[in-house]
Amino acid sequence: MRTLVFRYLEHLDRERNYSPHTLRAYAGDLDRFLDFLGTGYLGRDPGAIRPEEVDAAAVRAFLAWLARRGTSRQSQGRALAAVRGLLRYACRSGVLTVDPSRGIRTPKAPKRIPEHLRPGEIENLLEAPAGDEPLARRDRALLELLYATGLRVSELVSLDWGDLDLGHRVLRVVGKGRKERMVPFGRPAAEALAAWREVWPERLAPGSEEEAVFLNARGGRLTDRSVRRRLDRAVAATALARGVHPHVLRHTFATHLLERGADLRAIQELLGHESLSTTQRYTHVDLERLLTVHREAHPRARRQE
């Protein structure tokens, strides 16, 4: 069973282009599943468990075990997605003939409205990297591009200069499932990238053939975690009282487009969402804004309060 898990995670990494964050989460979920099967369900060494011993009752028992441990419904849903993906992969690979997770419903998690920054907040954040030294230029370009394109951090750090056309202000990115998409960006991001490009060669490690757009202090490709640290530093330099993770910039990108009348299908394409339902959660953000405007501005809404 552990061999199957290893091959499945390798498949997600190499063929499905899953982000390092998602791979770590799935690996943890599948480790917990195997440990549960071994110690709490079948009662023997998890390494000796065969895929055909996993049935629907085992999957349901695993979800019940997670619930008893106080695991949130959102985390239960992700764990089921990891297990379901593993079992479907086993079927496609000929290891199993029937998917035992078929028909098992995903635990319903409460809908969360995506957190985003207001226009004034995002402007302050984009202006946070001060100075003209190379790494300040890099950080400005990094933040501008995140907000201008709504890229996932894993997509951002994977960019090479050959993926960018600064003249036409468009980039090519390979997202989840190895799906390629073109994403435009505005003049501020293009200018920030051009300024970083001027000093990029001097930040490259000696003898390196690296083509990564964003380099770390040692001249190698920047990592997801490094982007989070750069963002934390930018937040600390502003008056923002809350923490901001990189995905908030993605949410902000989508929310601001929607607020200004962008078509939901176009936003879906720009974000690289497979399903429109994933993009539709941003309509709740815009609805909240409209309700607030109505409450504050409409005479009868104010009188009712």
Catalytic residues: 152, 176, 247, 250, 273, 282
Per residue in 251-267, is it b (16+ CB within 10 Å) or e — as a string? bbbbbbbbeeeeeeeeb
Report, in angstroms and rounded to the nearest whole number, the Rg of the chain calculated over CA atoms: 23
As a whole number of angstroms, the distance between CA 222 and CA 220 comes to: 6
**Cα separations in angstroms, 208 against 196, 214, 268, 295:** 18, 14, 37, 58
Q: In this structure, how many other beta carbons lie within 10 angstroms of the beta carbon of residue 170? A: 15
**DSSP type of residue 104:** P
Query: How is 266-305 classified by DSSP, letter by letter?
Result: HHHHHHT-SSHHHHTHHHHHHHHHHHHHHHHH-HHHHHH-
**DSSP type of residue 177:** G
